[in-house]
Structures are given as structure tokens and as C-alpha cells.
Amino acid sequence: MTEETAAHDTPRLPTQYAPGEVEDRLYQRWNAAGYFEVDPKSGNPPFSIVIPPPNVTGALHLGHAFGHTIKDALTRRARMRGFEALWLPGMDHAGIATQTQVERHLATTEGKSRHDLSREEFVQRVWDWKHEYGGKILGQMRRLGDGVDWSRERFTMDDGLSRAVGTIFKRLFDDGLIYQAERIINWCPRCQTALSDIEVEHRDDDGELVSIRYGDGDTSVVVATTRAETMLGDTGVAVHPDDERYRHLVGRTIELPLTGRHIPVVADEHVDPEFGSGAVKVTPAHDPNDFEIGQRQNLDAVEIMDERANVTAHGPFEGLDRFEARPAVVAALRQQGRIVDEKRPYVHAVGHCSRCDTVVEPRLSQQWFVRVAPLAKAAGDAVRDGRVRLHPPDMAARYFDWVDNMHDWCISRQLWWGHRIPVWYGPNGEMVCVGPDEDPPTGEGWYQDSDVLDTWFSSALWPFSTLGWPDDTDDLRTFYPTSVMVTGYDILFFWVARMMMFGLYAMADRGPEESVPFRDVVLHGLVRDKHGKKMSKSRGNAVDPVDWMDTYGSDALRFTLARGANPGSDVPIGEDWVQGSRNFCNKIWNATRFALMNGAKVSAVQAGDDSSGALPPSDQLSTADRWILSRLHQVVAEVNTAYEEFHFARLCDTLYHFAWDEVFDWYVELSKTPLQHGGAEAENTRAVLGHVLDVTLRLLHPVIPFVTEELWLTLTGEESITVAPWPRADTRLTDVDAEGTIGELRDVVTEVRRFRSDQGLKPGQRVPARLHFDRPLLVGFEEHIRNLTRLTEPADGFSTTTAVEVAGVRVELDLSEAIDFAAERNRLEKDLAEAEKHRASAEAKLANSSFTSKAPESVVANVRAKLTETEAEITRINNQLAALPKS
């Protein structure tokens, strides 16, 4: 029992729920109790999720909060179901982002660059920065309620994971799947490193297309480019082999303007003869497609820029930045009369560094690559044969398009922070790859490769390296393959596919079924503002989730995010929606407080027992009791199905409407009558009310853990809802008759309430009424109907002024003291005249063939919809007028 429970015979709750006074206390309690820690030898069935490792430089954003809410809900439910549930946390060293942060810090505090330090000194500075400033997000994960096993926290640069990186590099190298070659790569002049395709963000930029004439007379061709400065490195012009316009030029050379060099005209099927002039300039050292043409046609590759994208070609442009050189080259060409067509606006996709937003420069460079063909095929096969399931399934087509057409992966980065490539070079051109358990070669002239590995290389090992691979650990044997991978659809190709490739390769000795890194991949959408726009600081719609947690509580944020989680769809979110979720938490709090104040408890025998045996016999329960129990166990089944289908929006919506509409609005109200009367019926209602709250809180717990824990502890006095059993549906509690009866009761009450509202009666205003029942089953609910609709018993002088009939119940009301009938009739007649005016206008528009044929379909549809609404309004007003006394 909690201290609060022990202090009172009747458990009590504060009048209001204050998340700030509850959340930190409960999270510390969970951690101290070790609820999130796992034992691989427990014998319980395993369930495991590895966290997509956030950058060590990062802070919690709404995308993190969204993904973490889903993962935490899955893990908490698995734990309650009796699984040994591991959610493993950790961080990524984020090579480029972290090195940039530390370099900036070094420049600001000491006025130095990394080159003022030795490599070892700089790396130590990065470690120092990591210990002092990194990992802010870990504390924010605690705020959100992440039930992770902190004792197993990993970092991609820790000793164990570094050993895993070295091991798989060595194996891939020995198997011929890692090689070194000179290729065109994405180069960031600002970060001074190669980038993989996934580190480049392409977006449409405004450019200028310039047409340039190469050569003269019959030996001239016109080429178009948006990057005029690269023509200094052209080593050929390519045309299609079947293009009659240029057949006489193939095999000949033409003069390259500004350089004095002569370059060949070659025939290559890569050229589209229908695009532009049908001739393209070929710059093998500065364009990936040109590089391929150059390889096929044996063209030289002339580099004309350095690592900072400054021109190195000898001549007047030497030393200029690429963007300075571009207009200078165009001006020089114009002076020579080589510009055929002046600058024309041209929108084209331009790659930008995802870390610093610098325009990426294609550059010929000696780099390390992974030969992906066999690895990608295995990753595709695992989804095709069902060993790994993608949710939603329609994401599979996009996945196959990626893995079936994947290019070799450039894995080397020109950084100092990261896993250094374990290759040594000897004085006589030797190259040796050294595994983590091997000694590197020594002696004069031997040195290690200076590059480090792409950050995605180490994170691709995450599902098994975090569990102890390459060692055969208890964790690896128990928790691999992991159960589910939850991540955004935007990194399906970038991270998920790489984990698939490396998991299937590294764990191949387990066989096809057990080598996959996870069984299910749940792809959620991106969080956007409530208008569906992408959140960004520049738009002014970015949100710090910690601010919302401070204001509304972590549960409110979690529930809002989970309720918007339709599979594969983006998630809109607005502050008013979080406020609505806060109201829901308050509603749960107040309903539980009402139950406790009225003696509802859950005994130790009942707590967690979902069977009918934990309740009074069915024949001793009221219709309302049997109805709510029947609905409760249907909801248990619906929620379980939604979890199995990873449909969080549906499960949250189901729980919201059941809890708010059926339990709190209807059953709690219906329970007040027997609770007021006392006796055996009241005791039975207390037992049912306690049971319903017990099960409802357990169903809600994975999504909103804090408020449900605080309430469940008070309601049951048990250890923790975190380790309470997950509810099970009991079909024996299904009661179709009770559901039908309460459904009719709700129809009666709803219709009377609507009628009262239409008549302008105040919610608390008492009105005398006489009730007649044609349905015997509802006779016993007369007191409930009167309480719920504010109807009093008829007194002397009662005169029926109007009546409402629904579900076999006739409710006769005396409104003579409540309504000024003449004024009400006058108001309604004015409303009717206005509505008929709108109807006539809409009918006239729709009868006009000119309007219906020429107006946009959306406009015509809107008029039709307005007409339907207006006709319904007219019917409603006429019914109200008919219900008023004639005099």
C-alpha cells in the first residue's frame, strides 16, 4: 500500500489533478523498484524494442515524443502481459553534428580550430563535451515517462559497440563487400567530408540555365548548364548514337572555350536526344552521371575545385568560390560570343547537407564503399517472404523500390570524431584490415587510414550490437530478433534497410528466421501543426514539447500524439488538442475520486482479476451494472485488436469514448441512484464501479502512465499498475439484453435533453412531467430518467403542454411555468422565415442550369449541402412549433 492509502480507511485523492506533483515522483519510484529492468534468464517470453538512438547533440522534439510514446505503450503493455519486456535506450555519436558543435565551442571559447590540436587532443575534447553537454534528451525522456532499462544504456562510441563496428568491418572486408575506390561522392564544403545519399536533402532551388556554344562552324555544338563554372573541367561532349544531327561529329574533337583544350565528341545512350539541344557537356570529376559516361568512354577526369569548392583550374578564375566563379565564367563566355541563350530561370533539385544546409558539391574522391547488392537482396527477400512485416503494408512497394535499386554505400567520412577505419597502409603500398582483437602492424612507414565511418554504419548494427554482439551473450540469445521497430516512414530506406542488411549478414548463423533484426516495422508519420504544415522555426509554428508537458502534463501530450497515430499518416497537433487531452485526464481523476468518495474499492482478490468470478453473481446485478460490464469486455477485445494491428489512433479513440461517454457520463450517473439508496444493490454497484475503473485504468496505462498509476494505487492499494496484469476479455460478461435496454434508456434521456435545449430551458431547471411506459423493461428506470433529465413528479394543477415520445416512453411535460409560449412562438416563426428564405435561394441556384453547368463542382456541392442542412433546420423548427400549446 502507498502511504496515502494506509493513512485513511477510505482512500482519498486531492480535489484536482496536478501532474507536476505526480510525474517525477512516480518515475523515480518506477526506476527505484526496477520495473523497467529485465532478466534474460527469467523464462518469461521475450519482448524487445531498441530505441532509434537520438543524437548526443539533440533535444526532445515532437517527433521524438511521438515515436517514444508509441514504443513506450507497446513495451508497457507487453510487460503487463507477462513478457520480459526490454526497451533498450542509447544515443548516437552523430559524427558530423557533434564535431561541428565542438569545433564551434572551441572557436568561441578559445579562438582555436581543431587543426590547432592533435587528433587525439581534439577527440578528447569531444568526449569532454559529450560528458558535460551531451545527452540532454535523456532527462527529457524521463519527463515523458519512457520505461527504458537504463542499466542497459548504450552509446555508439562505447567500447562494446566500437568492437562490434570493427568486427563487422573486418568480416565485410574479408568477404569482398567493403572496397576502396575513386568515385563521385556527395561532398559538403562546409563540413569538409563526404556524405551518403541519406545525408543529402534535395529540394527545388531557383537556378539559371545558360546555353553555351562549344567549337565553331560545322564542328560546333550547344550545351546547356546551370553550373557554368564546371565547364572548366569538361573532358568531352556526349550525344545519343542515333542522333542524326551530330553523327558527323562523333569521334572528332571540338575546342572547349576559355581553356584552349580540345575535347572529344562521344556517342552514349545515356543522353536524351529530346532534352535541350540533345548534346551534353561531360565533367567526369564533378557529376555522378558524367562520371559514368567518362568511365564508359575512357574520358579523363579533371578536378577543378578543392575541398572548399574553390576553383583550382589555372587561369583567371583560380581561387574563386564556385558561386563567385559562376557569373565570372558566364561573363567571360559572353565576351567571347559563346553565350547562345542568356540566363533563363530554371527550377531544379539541388542537394543540401542535412547538417549545415550547404549546397552539396559532387566530387571525385577516393573513398570506402559497401558493395550492397547481395546485402540489399537479402533485405528485400526478408520482407517479400514475410519474415519481416511492414506496417502499413503499402509501404512495402517503396521499400522494394529502394533496396532493389540501391547504390553502393559510401561509408568513409573525413572527420576526426567517429569510428576510425581499421585499415593500415605500409611503406611499400601494403594494405591491411585489422580486426578489434588483432594487433595492427608496427614499424616504420605504417599508418592508419585517417577517415572515420559514416554514423549510419554503427547505427545499422544497433539491434544486435546493443545486445552484446559479437559475443554470444544472454541478452543476444534472449532478445534478438527484436520484436518491433517503430520509426518514421522518412527513414525507412536510410536506417531500416541498413539494419536489415547488417542484421541478416551478421546473424546469418542463426538461420533465415532468426537472423532478421525485428519481426515488425511500424512506420509512423511526421508531426505537423494542426493545419497540416511542417513545423519549423522559420514558420513560427515549432513547439518545444517540454513546454506543453510543463503546462498540461506528460500524459496529455502522449495521449494527443497517440490519438493522432493513424498508420503511415502524418500527425497534426495543436495546443488546444493537448488541452483537450488534459481535460480527459482530469475527467478520469474526477470520476475515480467520485467512486472512492462513494465507497468503491477493489480488493486484493479483485485487483487484476478480469473474470466474472471477481464480481457479484450476474443475477444480483442491475441492468446498468450488466451493461457496463458487457461493454467493458467488448472494449478490451477491441483495444487488443488495435494493438495487434499497431493502430494507436483507433485504440485511443475507443478508450476515450468508452471512458468519457459510457463510464463517466452514463454509468457514473446511473450509479448515483443505487448508491443513494444503499443496501445490497449499492454494494454491488460499488464492486462493479471499482472493477470497471480498475480495468479501464489498466487499459489506459500504456498511453497515459502517470495519472493511471496514481489513481490505480489509490483505488487498489496494490504495488503498481506497471506490473499489474493486462486485462483479458471475458465473453461470459456479454449481455445483449442489458445493452439493448440501456441503449433505449440513453435514447430517451438524450431526446428529452435535446428537447429541453430546443425549448431554451436552463440545464438545471426543474420541470414537472408524467411518464408512460409501453416498454416494461424501462419501467424500473423512471427514477434514473427523472434524475438525468431534471424532471419532477407532477403536482396538483399539472397540465400537459407538450410531449416527447421515444423508445416506447411517452414523456408529458408541463411547461406553463417555464416558457413564455407567445414569445417562444414568435422567435421560432422568425427563425422559420429566415430558414425558408435560405432554402428558396439554394433551390433557385440549383434550378439554374447555367449555374450547375458552369460553377465549379465544389461550389455546386456546397450549395446542395447547405440546402440539406436548411431543410433539416426547417423540420426541426416546425416540430418545435407543433409541440407548443395552441394558445
- Structural contact between residues 724 and 76, judged by C-beta atoms closer than 8 angstroms: no
Report CA dihedral (596, 598, 602, 604) to the nearest 10 degrees.
Answer: 90
Q: Give the pairing type, strands 409-410 and 200-214.
A: unpaired
Spatial distance between the Cα atoms of 259 and 338, rounded to a whole number of angstroms: 13
Map residue 95 onto helix, strand or coil.
helix
537 labelled as ligand-binding? yes
Residue 507's DSSP bridge partners are none
How many other β-carbons are positioned within 10 Å of the β-carbon of residue 576? 9
Spatial distance between the Cα atoms of 32 and 727, rounded to a whole number of angstroms: 25
Q: Give the pairing type, strands 236-239 and 262-267.
A: parallel
Cβ neighbors of 766 (< 8 A, separation 6 or more) are 790, 791, 792
- Give the CA distances from residue 582 to residues 67, 346, 554, 560, 697, in Å, rounded to whole numbers and listed in that order: 20, 50, 9, 9, 16
Cβ neighbors of 850 (< 8 A, separation 6 or more) are none
Of 550, 554, 578, whose CA–CA distance to 564 is shortest? Answer: 578
Cβ neighbors of 239 (< 8 A, separation 6 or more) are 221, 245, 246, 249, 250, 265, 266, 267, 268, 271, 273, 278, 279, 280
What cell was used for 838? 435560405
Spatial distance between the Cα atoms of 131 and 127, rounded to a whole number of angstroms: 6
- Structural contact between residues 96 and 415, judged by C-beta atoms closer than 8 angstroms: yes
- Structural contact between residues 495 and 530, judged by C-beta atoms closer than 8 angstroms: no
Spatial distance between the Cα atoms of 73 and 147, rounded to a whole number of angstroms: 9
Map residue 15 onto helix, strand or coil.
coil
Spatial distance between the Cα atoms of 271 and 222, rounded to a whole number of angstroms: 14
Cβ neighbors of 89 (< 8 A, separation 6 or more) are 51, 138, 141, 146, 148, 149, 150, 152, 153, 154
What cell was used for 105? 565551442
CA distance between the termini of the chain: 66
Cβ neighbors of 208 (< 8 A, separation 6 or more) are 226, 343, 344, 345, 346
Q: Binding-site residues, please?
A: 537
Pick out the residues of the known binding site for ATP.
Answer: 537
